[in-house]
Structure 1
Amino acid sequence: MTAGPLAPHASRPSTGIAADTTDLSKVYGSGDTRVVALDQVSISFRAGEFTAIMGPSGSGKSTLMHCAAGLDSPSSGSVRVGTTELSRLNDRQLTALRRDRIGFIFQAFNLLPTLTALENITLPLTIAGRKPDQQWLDRVVSMVGLSGRLDHRPAQLSGGQQQRVAVARALASQPGIIFGDEPTGNLDSRSGAEVLGFLRDSVRELGQTVVMVTHDPVAAGYADRVVFLADGRLVDEMAHPTPDRVLDLMKAFDTRHPRTS
């Protein structure tokens, strides 16, 4: 399925920094159990850009995303969304920022079992007291293939369909930045390609910002750039990635950064 043209009124300029970290470190435990998940990571996610984060298991990919999205607190360093320094927000302000300015797509669907698919999709907007843009909502629903399932509850949907609801929910409010942790991990290759293509179109046409953790070189190929982590540090970056180039670089990492048991 190919998405149609986006509404002209929805366009917005793709300038500035959507989120950034400075000297970001995250440490778990202490003494013999101390683990450094992130080690002074400084990175900017430019507005209107699709960034993929890659690296071996345990490299700090998801931790970086969770800290940048305000889902986890850093041990040291700073995180900003736009010009807002997250450490200066109280819990209520942080919750409001995540609700109003950030979209999330995770492998764990986090759907409410008593709500229909449509109610789950529009829940963040309902909580914020906002009405959805019906044209945008219709397009999101069509793209992820849920037009005939909107009245179904999560228990009546397959795992792949539940993931599509989660994807549509993140996109429905047209947030300033979307964070995805393997967002198409539970979709078949065709559905996954459709969702990634839609995210890509959102970046190109709306100036939307997408930051995606993935292990899949094909998914990374949809991004404008790929950043690579190893042992909690940024070790490389690639602009205009292709699946083959990403795969070659990942193979090189296995040589330069051998995994230890």
Structure 2
Amino acid sequence: MTTAASAAHLSSLPERDGSAARARQVTKAYGAGETRVTALDAVDVDIERGRFTAIMGPSGSGKSTLMHCLAGLDAVSEGRIWIGDTEITGLKDKQLTRLRRDKIGFIFQAFNLLPTLNAVENITLPMDIAGRKPDQAWLQQVIDTVGLSGRLKHRPGQLSGGQQQRVAVARALAARPEIIFGDEPTGNLDSRSGAEVLGFLRRSVDELGQTIVMVTHDPVAAGHADRVLFLADGAIVDEMHNPTADSVLTRMRRFDGKRTS
């Protein structure tokens, strides 16, 4: 059921068009001369606003490097990257820190919760550090979306792994970032808890209008996305829309067959 407050928030969400992030001719290389390793090779990509994008590929394909460059966690060797309308390539450290704080959310494999704070304190911590007061109606909607209403006073040690990752998801959502990046967010969870967290991520896109980019090796996780990008040897070699776990697994097997043939 949509309350008047949540309806007002939904009416203010960004339109589901345009790019939340984009990269043009992005190259990331390490070393020089004979020791030079190219992790990303002239990548062009647009991340659609209000959609769930998964990035997949074998180990060493560049998928985590691409996410780190898009999020401004790693500098590119060549090319340009934008978050929304802001070009992040060339920004100084303080500017990048401010942009990540204000426009980007992160969900990592490790939950990264402070053990001395309860769930709601962990959720609002980034805003507290930035001196911003949470939008209480939005915060409640996020808490309801990830199913944490009955656990807000619990500290991390009193929560299961799945519940801790729900707190991490809510923390990423609470500041209403333009885009959320997830690096194997269900990697430390059992299959049931992982499915719950993926369901919450899916709901945050469908019901809250969030944009999510998730690096994963798991076809089941990728099956929750709207679009899957496949990387190999530092390049985007294929993509799939409206994936299922089976269709993703079939596509990945095809790549594995090409790499071993």
TM-score (norm 1): 0.89
Change (3 A) 1:96 1:237: same
Corresponding residue of 2:221: 219
Q: Distance in 2 between matches of 1:153 and 1:35?
A: 43
Corresponding residue of 2:9: 10
Corresponding residue of 2:132: 130
Corresponding residue of 2:244: 242
Amino acid at match of 1:8: A
Corresponding residue of 1:166: 168
Contact 1:52 1:213 in 2 (8 A): yes
Change (3 A) 1:8 1:162: same
Contact 2:145 2:203 in 1 (8 A): no
Q: Distance in 1 between matches of 2:141 and 2:190?
A: 20
Contact 1:116 1:154 in 2 (8 A): yes
| Higher mean displacement: 41-50 or 189-198 | 189-198
Q: Distance in 1 between matches of 2:202 and 2:2?
A: 13
1:107 aligns with 2:109: yes
Corresponding residue of 1:141: 143
Aligned pairs for 1:162-241 (under 5 A) are 162-241=164-243
Q: Could you say what the CA RMSD is over the residues aligned between the two structures, in angstroms?
A: 2.1
**Unaligned ranges ≥5, structure 1:** none
Corresponding residue of 2:29: 27
Contact 1:227 1:238 in 2 (8 A): yes
| Higher mean displacement: 141-150 or 93-102 | 141-150
Q: Distance in 1 between matches of 2:170 and 2:221?
A: 18
TM-score (norm 2): 0.89
| Higher mean displacement: 163-172 or 247-256 | 163-172
Change (3 A) 1:129 1:106: same
Identity rate, percent: 68
Change (3 A) 1:142 1:188: farther
Amino acid at match of 1:221: G
Change (3 A) 1:247 1:55: same
Q: Distance in 2 between matches of 1:108 and 1:197?
A: 19
- Shift in Å, 1:142: 4.4
| Higher mean displacement: 204-213 or 90-99 | 204-213
- Shift in Å, 1:217: 1.1
Give the secondary-structure state (helix, strand or coil) at the position aligned to 2:89.
helix
- Shift in Å, 1:69: 0.5
Change (3 A) 1:207 1:168: closer
Match of 1:84 among 83, 86, 101: 86
- Shift in Å, 1:191: 3.0
